[in-house]
Structure 1
Amino acid sequence: MRKLSGIFLVGLCLGAIGAVVVTASHETAASQPVAVSEVVTTMSESPVVSATPRPTPSSKATPKPAAEPPAELPRVDAAAVDRLVPGGEVSAVVFDRQRGETTVSVHAERGYTSASLVKLLIALTVLERGGPTASVQRMLSRSDDDLASQFWSTYGGPAIVTRWAAKLSLTGTRPPEDPGRWGDTRITAKDIVRIYQYLLAHGPSAILDALRDATERGSDNFRQYFGIPDAAGTRPWAIKQGWSCCRPTRTLHTSGVVGEDERYIVVVLSEHPASVDYATGSKRVTAVVKTLLG
């Protein structure tokens, strides 16, 4: 009996020790993190682990300051514009595309010879009829007269002007009296604005691309950054310029779009006495545009 009791006591002690070891191992396993991976199950399977969702971050964000509206251009009267071109003639029109209205109109229907501005109509005609895009862009960006003359002869000459004047209701635009002199086409600032409105709404993108890429020097080495480019500052622009002399006056025109999203169509046409050199005339046109843009 004593032997059996001793054996029995030893067994109880060993059992107790084993229970403590098993319990300790379970607690240790339970304290370890559980890695949960996303598992695709079939319809017959059910997920074994249901992870506790993390708290959803607050949807409130620090409000951004409201963007300031673009500054409006100043209102300009005719006398202020006229004073900047002494002894000559000047016309200026600004059309705000965002507001859908003309904000400046100074002698908008006064007639001028077009010089190279007629190249806009030549470009529209050539591209409409499948002509060479690269050459049209060079004609515009570098104001290349040789290409303009080739296109003028090939694509209809004066009929180019007559057709677009009818299509766009250009009331002050007409072909040159001498059919071979495309630069003597008659234009008005009001009509040039209508041409840009058409280009922006319906024209081939290649034309505006070329106007954005206008080079500082034209194909004849004339500096064509007077007017809009010199006055626009950091605002984006796309331009078509014109210059000629002297039948009998010196002509300097700047036209194009200015601002983000081509907001403003700006056209300044001018004639100066032949005694006024190009450098002086260019500065005067730039001063007019600075007045328009503020």
Structure 2
Amino acid sequence: MRKLSGIFLVGLCVGAIGAVAVTIGHGAVQAPRASAATEVLTTMSESATPSPEATPTPSPTTTPKETPKAEPPSTVDAAELDRMLAGGHVSAIVFDRQRGAATVSLHADRGYTSASLVKLLIALTVLNRGGPTADVQRMLSRSDDDLASRFWSAYGGPAIVTGWAKKIGLTGTQAPADPGRWGDTRITAKDVVKIYQYVLAHGPAAIMTALRAATEQGSDGFRQYFGIPDAAGGRPWAVKQGWSCCGPTRMLHTSGLVGDDDRYIVVVLSEHPASVSYATASKRVTAVVSALLA
């Protein structure tokens, strides 16, 4: 901060009798900052020969316009989010599209098995190549694995992942080691945000329509309203969820848009010990999203 101060002495001589000194002071004026109050600058004037009958006039006060306050930084405690998934791992990003910046970013580059989140890339491929829109929307809204497997085989398999990774700049996304297991694609929270940014800017409108129509039960009967839908609290949302089984750990991911005009991209990727039930894991992911959106 830089201060400007000065003392100005004006001497007025009347004959040889004496002098009247007038001193004017300026308070410190701070450049606008969200975390600091702006001081009031006051100027005062005084007549050299006031009339006895004159009524003192209050000094004019100039109040500067209020500086718009920046949004406060996130108060989300990263350590607390980690504690919510005891024995597991969590990554989270909240990206404010109006500000063009992330308000929360936790372990954004940590890799996870994608489970059904890779269906976003499958959908982009199929629709861009003129595939069946209704089936793609069903694959997304109901997280239909059979349709995903069919499209994966028909539209290039691992090349779907590598092609989009190159096009969008997905630095942490990798095709599965077993080319037939699309759900084993590796992803990061940062890359999932990039996918949503691309879908919103360039993707077929059918994708967002499907995400807004996500059903409570997936095609396999799994309840997919954990995370964003359960934590949105009446805010508009659109989601693509992911879950996987049959390994030493369970993956449970929630991703999508929250708020009016799709303001926030929210991504929470999580990995849980196999000893943690899906019901418990779902509640934990919802608690994380609730903390992010508080």
TM-score range, shorter chain: 0.7 to 0.9
1:273 alignment counterpart: 273
Following the alignment from structure 2 to structure 1, what is the Cα–Cα distance between the partners of residues 153 and 99? Answer: 40
Following the alignment from structure 1 to structure 2, what is the Cα–Cα distance between the partners of residues 257 and 72? Answer: 21
2:232 alignment counterpart: 232
Following the alignment from structure 1 to structure 2, what is the Cα–Cα distance between the partners of residues 222 and 209? Answer: 21
- Which residues of structure 2 form unaligned runs of 5+? 1-68
Q: Percent identity?
A: 78
2:261 alignment counterpart: 261
Contact 1:256 1:266 (8 Å CA) reproduced:
yes
2:152 alignment counterpart: 152
Contact 1:175 1:185 (8 Å CA) reproduced:
yes
Q: CA deviation at 1:75?
A: 3.0
Q: Counterpart of 1:168 in structure 2: which amino acid?
A: I
Following the alignment from structure 1 to structure 2, what is the Cα–Cα distance between the partners of residues 180 and 218? Answer: 22
1:196 alignment counterpart: 196
Taking only aligned residues, the RMSD between alpha carbons, in angstroms, comes to 1.3
Q: CA deviation at 1:246?
A: 2.8
Contact 1:91 1:268 (8 Å CA) reproduced:
yes
Contact 1:73 1:292 (8 Å CA) reproduced:
no
Larger radius of gyration: 1
Following the alignment from structure 1 to structure 2, what is the Cα–Cα distance between the partners of residues 236 and 74? Answer: 21
Secondary structure class of the residue paired with 1:83: helix
Deviation per residue, 1:27-71 (Å, 9 max, x gap): xxxxxxxxxxxxxxxxxxxxxxxxxxxxxxxxxxxxxxxxxx9x9
Deviation per residue, 1:70-112 (Å, 9 max, x gap): x979431320210111110000001000111011000000000
Contact 1:96 1:263 (8 Å CA) reproduced:
yes
Deviation per residue, 1:119-149 (Å, 9 max, x gap): 0000000000000000000000000000000
* 1:185 lines up with 2:185 in the alignment: yes
Q: CA deviation at 1:150?
A: 0.1
Following the alignment from structure 2 to structure 1, what is the Cα–Cα distance between the partners of residues 255 and 118? Answer: 12
Following the alignment from structure 1 to structure 2, what is the Cα–Cα distance between the partners of residues 94 and 134? Answer: 30
1:216 alignment counterpart: 216
More strand by share: 2
Q: TM-score, normalised by structure 2?
A: 0.75
1:93 alignment counterpart: 93
Q: Counterpart of 2:126 in structure 1: which amino acid?
A: V
- Which residues of structure 1 form unaligned runs of 5+? 1-68
Following the alignment from structure 1 to structure 2, what is the Cα–Cα distance between the partners of residues 85 and 255? Answer: 17
* 1:141 lines up with 2:141 in the alignment: yes
User: Aligned runs of 1:1-294 on 2, under 5 Å?
Assistant: 74-294=74-294
Following the alignment from structure 2 to structure 1, what is the Cα–Cα distance between the partners of residues 144 and 264? Answer: 26
2:58 alignment counterpart: none
Q: TM-score, normalised by structure 1?
A: 0.75
Following the alignment from structure 1 to structure 2, what is the Cα–Cα distance between the partners of residues 162 and 209? Answer: 25
Q: Counterpart of 1:198 in structure 2: which amino acid?
A: Y
Secondary structure class of the residue paired with 1:243: strand
Following the alignment from structure 1 to structure 2, what is the Cα–Cα distance between the partners of residues 130 and 77? Answer: 45
More helix by share: 1
Q: How many residues of Structure 1 are paired with residues of Structure 2 in the alignment?
A: 225
1:18 alignment counterpart: none
